[in-house]
Chain A
C-alpha cells in the first residue's frame, strides 16, 4: 500500500516549549525552549539519555500534561489553555498510546480492552465490528478475543495495545519503548506492524534507547538536557 498523497502539514507543532517540574529540592527543568514540527505521516524516533526529557516530550504531545511556557498545537488545536476535560477529549480523539509495559486493563478481556476507548465516546454504532477489524489488522485471531491480558504472550499483549490505540482511528501514535519488554524477534514484528501503520498514514513518534529500533523510523531526533541536540 502506498502512502496517501497529501500535502505535508505539521500535525504536531511545539513552539519554544519549556516544562518545569516544581520539586521540594528545587525546580527541575525537563524541557528547555524546545521547538519541533512533526509532519503528518512522519515516523520519528526520539532518542536520548535517561532524564534528557524525551518522556516529558511524549507526555506533552500526548496531552497528558501542558507546557509551562510555549505552545503545543495538535492537529491545529493549541493545548496550553485547554481545560482538563478538553485536553482529555483531544487526547481521546487524536492520540493513541503504546507503552513499554503494554498497560492493558487486567479486569477486561482482549475485546473489551480494545473496545474501551470507543465506550468513552458513547459506543458508536458498529463498535464490535471495528474492534474485530483492528484486532485482525494487528494479527490477532478471534479465539484470543475473550482471553484476559494475563493469558497472552508479551507480543500478543502489545498487539492488543496497538489495536486499542488504533480503534478510535487517531492521527498520531505515541510509542514509549514499545519493544522494551519483548525479545528481538517479537520486537521486530511489532516494529514491522508500526511501519505498516505508518505507511497507511499514521504519524508515529517512538521513544527508544535502541539505535536498531530507531532504524525503523524515517527521522531520528536526539534530545539532550531538554532540547533538540
Chain B
C-alpha cells in the first residue's frame, strides 16, 4: 500500500544510489553463494574419491624424526614377529600383511613402471573387489588395477612382462576402481602373490599391515591392543583407522569451505553498510516529509515501515538478482577449480544459493533497522521545522 509505495518511489527518485546499494548486495550474495557452492562441491568431490571404508586399521612402520626425511620409510619394515604380535592383538579380525614395491612392466613393446602390492592370495577378496576374471591363486598370475588396465588396454588372459628380464605374468583378473585409499591404492598397480614376490625380490619383512575389523565398535579396542603390544617401550609402528583419517580430512575441507564462505560474507557486510549509508541519507533528506506524515497522523511504527520497506525492496532486488547470478558464479568457480560441475547440481550445493539470498535479505533489513528507528523516533515538531 501507500507506505510501501512511498518507499518504492523514493528508490526510483534516487535510482543511482539505490542501484549502487543493490549492486553491493548482488556482489555479496554472489560471493557468499558461489564460495559456499565451491566449498561444498570440493568436499563432495573429495569424499567421493576417497574410499570411505571405515572398518580398516592400517599399521605402518613409525618413522621417527631421527630416521631420515619425512615420509620416507626406506629401510623400515614390519617383521614377521611383529606381524604375529599384531595377529594376536587383532584376535578374530582379519590381518593382512602387505609388501609393496615397484617394477618395470612391459605391455607389448612398451615399457613403464607400476606399483606392486604383494599379499596372500587368500586375503585379496577381503581387501579388494574384482571387476573381471578371477581372484589370485597360489603360484603365478597377477591382478591389474582398473586404471592401469584401462590406460594400457589390458585384458584378462593376456600376459605382461615384469622386470627387465624375460619374466612374464598372466593377468587373471581386473580390479574394480577403488579411488584414493588410506591403506593401499591399487588402481594403477599390480596385485601379486606374496610367495612370488618373496622369491623374486627376496624380501621377508612387510611394509604395511591392514586389519579388517568385523565389528566397527571394536576398532578402538583393536587399535589400543596393537599399540599396547608393539609400542610399549618405543613407538615402532603407526596405527591409523581410516574412519578417523577420513573424518579429519572431510573436517579440514569443511573448514576451508566455511572460511571461504565467510570471506564471501564479508562482502555482504560491506553491502549492508552501503545500504545503511543510503538509508541514513534518505532519512536525513526526508526529515521534513517525516514531520509532515507524523502531523497527518502517521504513528511511529508506520514511519518505521516506510523505511524498512525501502531497505526490503533494495534487499529483495539485490538478493533476487544475486541469487540468479550465483548459479552462473558458482558454475564458473566450480568449473575453474574442479574442472567438473558434477557436484554443482546437488541439493547440498544449490542450497547455498538460498543461504546467500536469505543472508542478503537479512543483512538489508538489519541495515534498515537503525535508519528506520531513527526516522520513527524523530520529534515531529523539529522534523517539520527542518529545511
Contact = CB atoms under 8 A, between A and B. Distances in A.
B357 to A, nearest CB: 29
A91 interface: yes
Contacts of B1: 119, 123
Interface stretch (A4-12, A40-48, A81-89, A213-221): A81-89
B255 interface: no
Interface stretch (A67-75, A102-110, A138-146): A102-110
Given A103-B292, A105-B293, A107-B13, A120 B298 contact: yes
A75 to B, nearest CB: 14
B305 to A, nearest CB: 11
Interface in B298-315: 298-302
B47 interface: no
B297 A92 contact: yes
B205 interface: no
Contacts of A103: 288, 291-292, 295, 384
Interface in B251-286: none
Report, as a range, how many residues of chain A touch the other chain. Answer: 20 to 34
B2 A112 contact: yes
B134 interface: no
Contact of A116 (B9, B293, B300, B381): B293
B384 A99 contact: yes
Contact of A105 (B292, B299, B301): B292
Given A103-B292, A105-B292, A107-B10, A88 B299 contact: yes
Interface residues of B, number: 24
A91 B380 CA distance: 12
Contacts of B301: 85
Nearest to A116: B296
Contacts, number: 66
A88 B299 CA distance: 6
Interface in B188-235: none
Interface in A54-68: 59, 62, 64-65
Contacts of B294: 64, 88
Contacts of A92: 296-298
B55 interface: no
A93 interface: yes
B14 to A, nearest CB: 11
Interface string B1-33: 110001001100100000000000000000000
SS of B interface (majority)? helix
Nearest to A94: B297
A117 interface: yes
Pick from A84, A85, A106, A107 the residue with the most CB of B within 10 Å: A107
Interface in A148-207: 164, 168
A188 B293 CA distance: 27
Contacts of A99: 384
B9 A89 contact: no
Nearest to B301: A85
A117 B381 contact: no
A120 B381 contact: no
A97 B296 contact: yes
A62 B379 CA distance: 14
Contact of A93 (B2, B289, B295, B297): B297
Given A85-B300, A119-B1, A107 B295 contact: no
A84 B379 CA distance: 11
Given A91-B297, A107-B9, A116 B2 contact: yes
B296 A120 contact: yes
Contact of A117 (B291, B297, B299): B297
B6 A89 contact: no
A117 B301 CA distance: 15
B197 to A, nearest CB: 87
A105 B297 contact: no
A81 B379 CA distance: 17
B6 A107 contact: yes
Interface in B78-114: none
Given A92-B298, A97-B295, 12 more contacts: A59-B381, A88-B297, A89-B299, A103-B384, A108-B6, A115-B2, A116-B296, A117-B297, A119-B2, A123-B1, A164-B296, A168-B297
21 contacts: A62-B295, A64-B294, A65-B379, A84-B300, A85-B299, A85-B300, A88-B294, A88-B300, A89-B299, A92-B297, A97-B295, A103-B291, A107-B9, A108-B2, A116-B2, A117-B296, A117-B297, A119-B1, A120-B298, A120-B302, A168-B297
Which 5 pairs across A and B sit closest by C-beta, in order of nearness? Answer: A92-B297, A107-B9, A119-B2, A103-B292, A88-B299
